[in-house]
Structure formats: C-alpha cells, structure tokens
Amino acid sequence: MTMRQRADTPPLDVALVLRRLLPALAADTVPLLGGLVLLVLLPGIMTRLADTGGEAGTLFVILRALLAMVYVAGTAPIVVARAQGRHLGWRGGFASATPGVQVALLVGALVVAGMTLHLFARHGSVAGWLLDVLLLSAVLLGASILLPLVPLAVVETLSPIAAIRRAAALTLGSRNRLLALALLAGLTLAPIAALAFGFGGHGGPVAAALFEAAAWLVAALVPALVYAGLLENDA
C-alpha cells in the first residue's frame, strides 16, 4: 500500500478492539490461560519464593521475562487467526513464535537501556528531569508506533528491523488512537499493580505473580487484536 493510500485508510477502531478482548479470551481459553499459567504465573510464584536476593534475583527476573516473551509471541498468531475467523491451535501458535521472541528481545533490550538511563536521572537535577521527560516521550512514541510489533513479526515472519518498518507503515494514521489505547491499558493495570505489590511487599509473592500474569495477558491480547484491526483497514 502506498503512502497516499495509507493516508486514506480509516484509523483503527479502538472500540472494536476492546469489544473483541473477552470473546478472544473465551474462544481460545486453553492456549491463552493455560500458557499464562505455565509460562508466566507458575514461574513467577516459584522464582519469587526461591529468590534469596543478589545475582539469583536478577537471573530469575531474566528467566521470567524470557518465558513471558515466549508466551506473548506464541499466543499472538492464535489471537490474530481467531479475529480473522480462523482457528489456530496451541501447537501452530507456539511453533511460529521465533520471530516474535526475537523482536520482543530487542524491545526488552531497549527497555533495559531506558531503565538504566532512568537510574542516572534520579538525582533531582534539571538535567535528570529533562532526561525523564525524554524517556517518557520515547515510551509514548514507541507505544503509538510499535504496539502491534510482536504479532506482526510472528504472523508475517519478519526480522526485527523489517517488523519495525512494517509496524511504522501499518500504524500511520492510527497513532493517536494507539497512544490512547496504551494509556488506557496502563491506567487499568495501575490500581491492580498498587494492590498486588502492596501485598507483595509484605511477603505476598502470589499477589505479585498474579499481577504480572494479568499484565502479560493484556500484553498478549491487545497488540494482537490491534494488529488484526489494522490488517482489516489495510486490506
């Protein structure tokens, strides 16, 4: 599709994306919730219970992140296929997850880099405040452009760089709506996070793991449904 055609394409129907959330979860409960329990919830509980601090804690965080990336990448084609009226089983989804995991690792590396910069910004100076503003702007811009990145990479079997270019083209014309959707998801998860980590800070690893699982479920469903909606507009 040319840039002129893209400009004439209707923007993403965010309301439709939201309406599809529960039906998508109900239609593929076994891979979505089963995978969530096996790859996110149980590892989250077990690693928190086993965490004694130090280097082990860092390794556990990395392990949880890798398993969660596999979950998101493996469920993305299942959700997209269902939105398109097709059925793709557990095996078909996770067998094609490799491109999505590669992209997720790249995004994860960028997040780690951003968190490292944020540590340098926590000294109360004007420069630190400006760095925080810059990082927040980068996160919001990234959310508006790259939200469908992982499902796109999996379904279209693209390399990370090619997937980024494709996502930038596909989201053109819908970025304000994607930004609003990302903010809505964050605001929805914020009170759950406050509750979970309130208990988690007092010896409640299960509560923290449950929140983590809820967040990754959103991270699996929303981008996949966004990608499906953008594809419908792109057709």
Confirm whether 195 is domain-assigned: yes
**How large is the average pLDDT for residues 99-111?**
74
Is residue 130 within 8 Å of residue 166, measured between CB atoms? no
Whole-number pLDDT of residue 5: 43
* Residue tagged 């959700």 (tokens): 79
Domain that holds residue 91: 10-234
Confirm whether 2 is domain-assigned: no
Q: Work out how many domains the chain is built from and give that number.
A: 1
Of 161, 137, 34, 159, nearest to 93 by C-alpha is 34
Distance from first CA to last CA of the chain, Å, rounded?
9
Confirm whether 203 is domain-assigned: yes
Q: Which tokens belong to 9?
A: 């394409």
Residue 29: CA count within 13 A, CB half-sphere: 3
More confident residue, 111 or 1: 111
Confirm whether 82 is domain-assigned: yes
Is residue 153 within 8 Å of residue 100, measured between CB atoms? yes
More confident residue, 198 or 49: 49
Whole-number pLDDT of residue 148: 92
pTM: 0.82
Using 50, 70 and 90 to split pLDDT, how confident is the model at 93?
confident
Instruction: Give me the numbers of helices (H) and strands (E) for the chain, helices first please.
Output: 13, 0
How does pLDDT run across 142-178, given as a tens digit for each residue? Answer: 788 889 998 998 899 888 889 999 999 999 989 999 9
CA distance readout (Å), 216 to 11, 162, 193, 219:
26, 24, 12, 5
Confirm whether 5 is domain-assigned: no
